[in-house]
Structure 1
Amino acid sequence: MLSKLTQWIDTRRRERALRTHAVSDALWQKTLAGLPFLARLDPDDQLRLREMTSLFLAQKELSTAHELELTDEICVAIAVQACLPVLNLGLELYRGWVGIIVYPGEFVIRKTVEDEDGIVHEVEHDASGEAWEGGPVVLSWEDAQMTDGSDAYNVVIHEFAHKIDMVTGDADGHPPLFRRLHAPLDSAAWADVFDHAYDHFCAKIDAVPERRWARFERESLIDPYAADHPSEFFAVCSEALFVKPREFEAEYPELYRLLACYYRQDPARTGVLQTTAAD
């Protein structure tokens, strides 16, 4: 009896959220037009993404800084990109925090860093996005609009990939694996492919001569920033999976297969999920 009551309450909450935070047809079409990589989704998946966007907006609190006006366009554009990675995983991966802060452009991050000698330094740098464990996601609206697909860059997907990575603690490039979602993928299989790919990418970065660095940075599908830490490699590769899937699969086939199986999406339409299910 209690289970049925809980299910009824959850259904009523879902229906209320879908009504209260419904995305109008006009705004939805405008949002899709600004995010061309969503055209790869079939109509049923786009419908599920639209519903998940409404549920996401019902659960999160968006605010702005530096006098940026919070509009429906901003809310929906950020929400739909945040929902794309968890379309087949569920919004449960975003539980435990509510805040999303949007700046007009880049913002300054101040951090305390301890060096190898144990000396603590106060450092600051400009950023286009930041995700805090147990805390908010901070985004540059200017960067969040860089979505024409000319490269693999997507700050919203990047920061929400960090949020997924943080579900089990510090972001380390090893996101949580759930048997009901990810079997037969396990932590050993993840490490075998991901850690090897990260080490290979770092070695590739180290081998670039200084005189060729600018050209490499322009031409590399994966932003060299990904070499900073395994968590950044995971987030940057997540961007590439959704924004430039065919190019990503062509250049990094094993890594594409791994992330496609993790997110349970195959945007390059390689058939990898059917093959995995058959195995």
Structure 2
Amino acid sequence: MANLFTRWFGAQRRERALRKYAIDDALWQRTLAAYPCFGHLGAQDLARLRESASLFIAQKEFSTAHDLELTDQMIVAIAAQACLPVLNLDLDLYRGWVGVIVYPGEFVIRKTVEDEDGVVHEVEHDASGEAWEGGPVVLSWEDAQMSDGSEAYNVVIHEFAHKIDMVTGIADGHPPLFRRWHAPLDTTTWADIFDNAYDHFCARVDAVPERRWNRFERESLIDPYATDHPSEFFAVCSEALFVTPKAFEAEYPELYRLLARYYRQDPAGVGALVA
């Protein structure tokens, strides 16, 4: 009886949230038109994405920095992109935190790091996004709009891939593999494909002579920044899966199929979900 009541109560809360945070038709259509990463979705999937975005908005607290005006366009654009990776998984992957902070452009991150000799340094660098373990997602609105599909770049998908990666602990490039979603996938399969791809990509980047570095950065589908850590490789490849799926599948077919099976989406339409 308690379980029935819990499910009923949960359903009622969901319906109230969908009504209260319903997305205006015109705003939704403008959002879809602005981001080609939604292009592989059919009508039913888009309807589910719209519901997920409304629920996401109901669950999260949006705020801005440096006097940036928070608009409905901003909220809906970020929510829709954030919900794309979990469309066929579960919005609960984003539970445990509430804040989305939006800066006008790049912002400065200050960190304390320890080098190989045990010496602690204070460092700072510019960033377009940051996902904190157990904390907010911080985004540059300028960068959040740079998603025309010309490059494998989407800061929102990148940071929310980190959030997914963090569900089972620290981000390490090995996101949670829940049996109810990923029956054909296990940790061994993931490690065999993903870790091998990461090692090969790092070796490829390391082999580039300094004089050819700028050219390699321009020509590489995967940003060399992905060599920084397996978690960054996962986030960067997640961007490529949704933003430039055909190019990603052509250059990294095995890795494409792994991520397509993980997210349960096949944006390139190559039959990657067929066992």
TM-score (ref. length: structure 2): 0.99
Residues 16-95 of structure 1 aligned to structure 2 (within 5 Å): 16-95=16-95
Equivalent residue, structure 1, for 2:102 = 102
- CA distance in 2: counterparts of 1:17 and 1:219, whole angstroms: 45
C-alpha displacement of 1:7? 1.0
Q: Which residue type is aligned with residue 180 of structure 2?
A: R
Summarize deviations over 1:53-85 as a string: whole Å, max 9, x none. 000000011100000000000000000000000
Structure 2 CA distance, aligned partners of 1:226 and 1:56? Answer: 28
* Alpha-carbon distance in 2 for matches of 1:104, 1:253: 36
Which amino acid is 1:165 matched to? Answer: D
Q: C-alpha distance in 1, partners of 2:139/2:206?
A: 30
Give the secondary-structure state (helix, strand or coil) at the position aligned to 2:39.
helix
> How far has the Cα of 1:164 moved from its partner?
0.3
Paired residue secondary structure (1:122): strand
Separation (CA, whole Å) in 2 of partners of 1:199 and 1:117: 25
Instruction: Report the CA distance between 1:37 and its aligned residue.
Output: 2.0
CA deviations over 1:133-170 (Å, ceiling 9, x no partner): 00000000000000111101000000000000000111
Separation in 1, partners of 2:165, 2:36: 26
Q: What per-residue deviation string (whole Å, max 9, x for no partner) do you get for residues 210-256 of structure 1?
A: 11111110111000100110000000000000000010000000000
2:181 is paired with a residue of what secondary structure? helix
Which amino acid is the alignment partner of residue 265 of structure 2? Q
Aligned to 2:232: 232
**Shift, 1:117, TM fit:** 1.1
SS in 1 for 2:156: helix
Q: Provide the residue aligned with 2:112 in structure 1.
A: 112
Query: Equivalents in 2 of 1:237, 1:11: separation in Å?
Result: 35
Partner amino acid for 1:143?
A: D
Scaled by the length of structure 1, what TM-score is found?
0.98
Secondary structure, aligned partner of 2:185: coil
Q: What corresponds to 1:193 in structure 2?
A: 193
The Cα shift of 1:132 comes to: 0.4
Structure 2 gaps, min length 5: none
* SS of residue in 2 equivalent to 1:270: coil
The 2-side partners of 1:262 and 1:65 are apart by 34
Letter in structure 2 aligned against 1:15? E
After TM superposition, the structure 1 = structure 2 runs for residues 179-258 of structure 1, keeping only pairs within 5 Å, are 179-258=179-258
Deviation, structure 1 residue 3: 1.2
Q: Which runs of 4+ in 1 moved over 2 A?
A: none
- Structure 2 partner of 1:6: 6
Aligned residues: 275
Partners in 2 of 1:257 and 1:235 — Cα distance? 15
Structure 1 unmatched ranges of 5 or more:
none
**Alpha-carbon distance in structure 1 between the residues aligned to 2:39 and 2:202:** 33
The alignment partner of 2:166 has SS state of: helix
